[in-house]
Structure 1
Amino acid sequence: MSIEMRRSFGTLRMPAGFGGLLPALILVTLFFVVPVLALLLRSVTGPEPGFQNYATLLGDGTYARVFFNTFLVASVVTIVTVLVAFPVAWMLAIMPSALASIVFGVIILSMWTNLLTRTYAWMVLLQRTGVINRTLMDIGLISTPLPLINNLTGVTIGMVYIMLPFMILPLVGTLRAIDPMTLRAAALCGASPFDAFCRILLPLSLPGIAAGGLMVFVMSLGYFVTPALLGGTSNMMLAEMIAQMIQSLLNWGLGSAAAFILLVVTMALYALQLRLVGAGRATGGV
């Protein structure tokens, strides 16, 4: 065989390293691509071929209210989670490593606790005769119990608690990568602590905030257990509506259309973040 023919055969060979990716590609195809295609097919074929399911979802005021509640809850949970997680992440970044490991272990331990157990615990704490209302009444801050459950307040509290570790993890990695000498240099130049935070620390921590914020927002969009148990019927979210359509109403077409819209919105948000901050910064350095 001539050298030219050998070179031509070499160009037709499988790329180096592709064989190692083949199992992963098969898994992605079987467990992601095929279900998504089946979901799309069901949304445009049931009960009749066409796009009437999408027209119903986007044109009916009841379903529009569910979409509004979903994005409102996800936005509120993301904002509150960032506000709570930032000082915790900064504390973990600057405290001694031994103490930080203990606190970090407590945070990770909360992720390993059963989700349903944690949600029921918040139901006990937030109800009208729960520990929180009884404590506030005993110390004289309130005279009547606060409505902390079956509304947006209860959903926000429960979901923020569950989402905190997912925001803290990328934030800690980003904050630990910031050189402390940068803040000291700002102080030596006359910057106040507030100016150093707004002009140096906050901009440098934006990749971690973006990565954690996207993760929390996307997970909140599709959350089911916590909103179903802590929220009321007036605050139904999209995941709960999809479950009701498929399990109770057996309306697979409408449920599949709602699930596909949620998937498209999620992918669009991730693509937008990649466009704005780049692939490397979108992960927050994790």
Structure 2
Amino acid sequence: MTLAAKIGGGAKPSKRDGAFGYLMPAFLLVLLFFIVPVLMLLLRSILEPELGLQNYEALLGSTTYLRIFLNTFIVAGLVTLISVVIGYPVAWLLAIMPERWSRIVLAIIILSMWTNLLARTYAWMVLLQRTGVINKTLIGLGLIDKPLALVNNLVGVTIGMTYIMLPFVILPLIGVIRSIDPATLRAAALCGANRWQCFVRVLLPLSASGVASGALMVFVMSLGYFVTPALLGGTANMMLAELVAQFVQSLVNWGMGGAAALVLLVVTLALYAVQLRYFNPNKAG
């Protein structure tokens, strides 16, 4: 035993001290890259151009800015709804299909996530334009007489963002659905439930936490999305992230930019709190 150990009576570091040492790097990371920037935005939003809440009053009292807020929530809601409607059956098929095919399809989905975002958005611009493949195919099949307007509007933004967001619904749902015991569905069928009743009364409630997690992730990410709405939506369909970018790019309106960013952050944290309150799978009872 060393002299220091003898003097200290052989005392060992407590578990609390050890845990604090392990958590310190994570705490510093959150402090430096989240808390400090948020506090700086808060200060700039109330100090620039002068002390007060005039930035928030201008942001929430303007019909133009409120229209941008409304458009942001409409797009995020549509993308979330469509992603869940499409992603749920895909996740169900991936959960029940043979393991080999499930891995192949899942690898394709993950590879699509790894593809450059800008490249995927430009690909949709090519596909959706008036002379693009989609319009040419529809005209060739005789389904339409003239090209549809699929870009620079809400339709283009919704299509492009849904494609990008789908994996974020599918991936959480696969694990939740796979964790459901198939015997539960068989028991419901033996008790007289048809397929629709098994889905609505058994499968959907048991997988609600996965649906909520995926939907929340997609909705929150959609609220702050910039590249796809900017390229596919145009100025008439501006979203909040584009507004923040316009404020800060001018380098003279950081106060309004900070206020808009903080409003978006508050909405995001409120949605996360609702998800934890009502859809937390670890919550007792």
Query: Which of 220, 230, 233 is the equivalent residue of 2:232?
Result: 230
- Look up the equivalent residue of 1:252 and give its one-letter code: W
Deviates more, 1:192-201 or 1:182-191: 182-191
1:277 paired to 2:279:
yes
Query: Which of 175, 178, 190 is the equivalent residue of 1:176?
Result: 178
- Tell me the equivalent position of 1:255: 257
Sequence identity percentage = 65
1:110 paired to 2:112:
yes
- Look up the equivalent residue of 2:263 and give its one-letter code: I
SS at match of 1:242: helix
- Tell me the equivalent position of 1:136: 138
- Look up the equivalent residue of 1:277 and give its one-letter code: F
- Look up the equivalent residue of 2:29 and give its one-letter code: L
Residues 279 and 27 (structure 1), Cα distance of their counterparts in 2 relative to 1, 3 Å cut: farther
- Tell me the equivalent position of 1:44: 46
> What's the CA shift for 1:212?
0.3
> What's the CA shift for 1:12?
10
| In 1: Cα distance, 2:65 partner to 2:32 partner | 31
| In 2: Cα distance, 1:203 partner to 1:241 partner | 38
Query: Which of 210, 234, 237 is the equivalent residue of 1:208?
Result: 210
Unaligned 5+ runs, structure 1: 1-5, 282-286
Deviates more, 1:40-49 or 1:249-258: 249-258
- Tell me the equivalent position of 2:22: 20
| In 2: Cα distance, 1:24 partner to 1:11 partner | 20
> What's the CA shift for 1:14?
5.8
Deviates more, 1:134-143 or 1:271-280: 271-280
- Tell me the equivalent position of 2:193: 191
Residues 11 and 117 (structure 1), Cα distance of their counterparts in 2 relative to 1, 3 Å cut: closer
> What's the CA shift for 1:239?
0.1
- Look up the equivalent residue of 1:125 and give its one-letter code: L
1:266 paired to 2:278:
no
| In 1: Cα distance, 2:137 partner to 2:16 partner | 68
SS at match of 2:148: coil
SS at match of 1:140: coil
- Tell me the equivalent position of 2:5: none
- Look up the equivalent residue of 1:47 and give its one-letter code: P
Q: TM-score, normalised by structure 2?
A: 0.93
Partners of 2:95 and 2:178 within 8 A in 1: yes
Deviations 1:21-49 (A, max 9, x none): 11111111111110000000000011111
| In 2: Cα distance, 1:13 partner to 1:157 partner | 51
- Tell me the equivalent position of 2:95: 93
| In 2: Cα distance, 1:129 partner to 1:79 partner | 29
Off by >4 Å, runs of 4+ in structure 1: 9-14
Aligned residues: 275
| In 1: Cα distance, 2:281 partner to 2:207 partner | 16
SS at match of 2:282: helix
| In 2: Cα distance, 1:29 partner to 1:255 partner | 21
| In 2: Cα distance, 1:123 partner to 1:10 partner | 63
- Tell me the equivalent position of 2:158: 156
| In 1: Cα distance, 2:12 partner to 2:181 partner | 49
> What's the CA shift for 1:16?
3.5
Over the aligned positions, Cα root-mean-square deviation in angstroms equals 1.9
Residues 12 and 42 (structure 1), Cα distance of their counterparts in 2 relative to 1, 3 Å cut: farther
- Look up the equivalent residue of 2:48 and give its one-letter code: G
Deviations 1:149-184 (A, max 9, x none): 111110000000000111101000110011111111
Unaligned 5+ runs, structure 2: 1-7
- Tell me the equivalent position of 1:3: none
Q: TM-score, normalised by structure 1?
A: 0.92
- Tell me the equivalent position of 2:80: 78
